[in-house]
Structure 1
Amino acid sequence: MLFINTRPTERAYHLTQALDFPVLELPLLELVPNKIDIEQYQQLAQAQVVVVVSPTAAQLGLDGLKKSGVSLEQLEHIQWIAVGKTTAQVLQKVGINAYIPELETSEGMLQLPILRNINKGCVAFWRGRGGRQFMMQHLQAQGTTILNFCLYYRQLPDHSPQIFKQNLRYIQHNMPIFVCISSEASWHNWLLLCKHYPYLIKQCIYLTLGERLTQLVQHTALLVRQIQNLTPKSIQEAVKEA
């Protein structure tokens, strides 16, 4: 068997080291910072809630606050949501305590009481380009004002197609193959890598994060297992149950 760890390079190491079966690191996403105007950070005090969707978003957002001259004291009224524990740890380093959903997805965050009761308030998103569209649309439909901080964009790393080609024979001879799919963007990049190998798409077992992503992958793939988070424990349990 083989587990393909598709997490961004800076997040893959811990997961790879914690697993007790063969792993191939094949990042499907890399995060490239965007420039955000200082004036946008100065609007942040209007928000009641800030949603932080990744460790990268947390760090880039905090860096932006520092450059803009906005202090955390000016944001004391704000409640923070982190998509997962790693993101929350970045915020905790500067004294920000964040709510963390049980399910580390948009759906999980929307179930938090703080967002279910936001009504017509204002929510800021520290996110990547193209991410969390479902979540923002859901809140906007309820009359919530959105402050959109697009802190980075995601792309397929330049070296990933080469890694894929160099390891294709190894992948083909190590069935079953488990592939971690953590976002819609990573799924589309996996399909791009495999466009000349449709049989491989059908043969793999996909570990997908959350219900909505699972349903998306099921439109194309036959073998899909939903996971609740990206911890080594969740990955190992899903592999053993497959």
Structure 2
Amino acid sequence: MIFVNTRPTSRATPLTQAMQAKGLTVLSMPLLELVTIDISEREQQYQQAFCQQPDKYQALVVVSPTAARQGLAACPKGFIPSPNCAVIAVGHATAEVLRQAGWQVQCPDEYSNEGMMRMPEISRLQQGNHLLVWRGRGGRRVLVNFLQDNGVNVDAIAWYQRQCPAQAAELFSQMQQQLKQLASSAKPVVLISSGEAFSNWRQLMADSTQYELEDFDYLAFGKRLTQIITDLQLPCVRLEHLDNDEVWRGVQAVNNKSD
């Protein structure tokens, strides 16, 4: 079976190695790249308050390993958040970055906005409480809007932005050539980790003369993205998170459907 790993190059290698170890042929087709950006003066003030006013924030949400690394780099050496500030990491990889710095971290059972909303550390926040988010530009808007609608003061720092890789068209052309050479009878399985990644995939497919969206099976992260893909009548298996074992479970589910 062919597996198309669309994760950003900086995050793709562990998953590629894990899927290869399971006997899959893995093709790399990054649909997003992460580019560091300068934070604004206001965001600098949020970070300063987080480090210098221990009781200002009741929770910190860290959405990715990249956000964790860049946020930690902006903290004083050896800094540990106040015990009154719950640190919530989206994903085990994000949590591991923070734990290596000595932080106590909680992870939602489901790595979606909905999963975080169900966490006691989030659901107990009240009007007038403060929450800080370390993220990429524009990330986790659903969670932010939900909390703001409930009177929670949400401050967010965007450490990076996501964009379609400049070489995406070239890589996509190479991927198509590889698929043609492999000539597999089974549909390739494509990992789609976000709505933005899927938009980039659709744009690349629209320019293809060899393949259509229907020529692939899809693994989609989260409920909303799965709904978007299934609404297009495309075969899709939902993933609850993007850890290697969950992706492998999705691949097996695709296999079972095609048997």
> How much has 1:81 moved relative to structure 2?
0.2
| Pair 1:151-2:159 in alignment | yes
Give, in angstroms, the shift of residue 34 of structure 1. Answer: 1.6
Task: Name the residue aligned to 2:215.
Answer: 203
**Given residue 62 of structure 1, which amino acid in structure 2 is its aligned partner?**
L
Say whether 1:5 aligns with 2:8.
no
Q: Name the structure 2 match of 1:130.
A: 138
Is residue 2:122 matched to residue 1:115?
A: yes
Alignment RMSD: 1.9
Counterparts of residues 90-105 of structure 1 (less than 5 Å): 90-105=97-112
SS where residue 99 of structure 1 aligns? Answer: coil
- Residue 221 of structure 1: CA displacement? 4.6
Cα deviation, 1:95-146, whole Å, max 9, x if unaligned, reads 1111101112222111111111112211111011121111111111111110
Structure 2 residue 52 is matched with structure 1 residue 49: no
Aligned to 2:253: 241
Partner of 1:14: 14
- The alignment partner of 2:138 has SS state of coil
Q: Distance in 1 between matches of 2:96 and 2:248?
A: 23
Give the whole-Å Cα distance in 2 for the aligned partners of 1:16 and 1:163: 16
Give 1:203 shift.
Answer: 2.2
- TM-score normalized with structure 2 length: 0.86
**In structure 1, how many angstroms separate the alpha carbons of the residues matched to 2:62 and 2:233?**
30
Distance 1:179 1:75 in 2: 41
Residues 1:82 and 2:89 are matched in the alignment: yes
What is the letter of the counterpart of residue 29 of structure 2?
Answer: L
Q: Which stretch has the larger CA shift, 102-111 or 172-181?
A: 172-181
Does residue 217 of the first structure (1) align with residue 217 of the second (2)?
A: no
**Distance in 2 separating the partners of 1:186 and 1:55:** 18
* Pairwise CA distance, 1:76: 4.3
Distance of 1:221 and 1:11 partners within structure 2: 29
Matching residue within 203, 219, 228 for 2:240? 228
Percent identical pairs in the alignment equals 34
C-alpha contact 1:179 1:205 (8 A) present in aligned 2 = yes
> Mind listing any 5+ residue stretches in structure 2 that lack a counterpart?
255-259
Q: How many residues align?
A: 239
1:171 paired to 2:179: yes
Task: Give the C-alpha shift of residue 170 in structure 1.
Answer: 2.7
Task: Report SS of the residue matched to 1:65.
Answer: coil
In structure 2, relative to structure 1, the CA distance for the partners of 1:74 and 1:93 (3 Å cut) is closer
Cα distance in structure 2, aligned partners of 1:17 and 1:221: 31
Alpha-carbon separation, structure 2, partners of 1:73 and 1:200: 50
Q: In the aligned structure 2, how far is the partner of 1:241 from the partner of 1:176?
A: 13
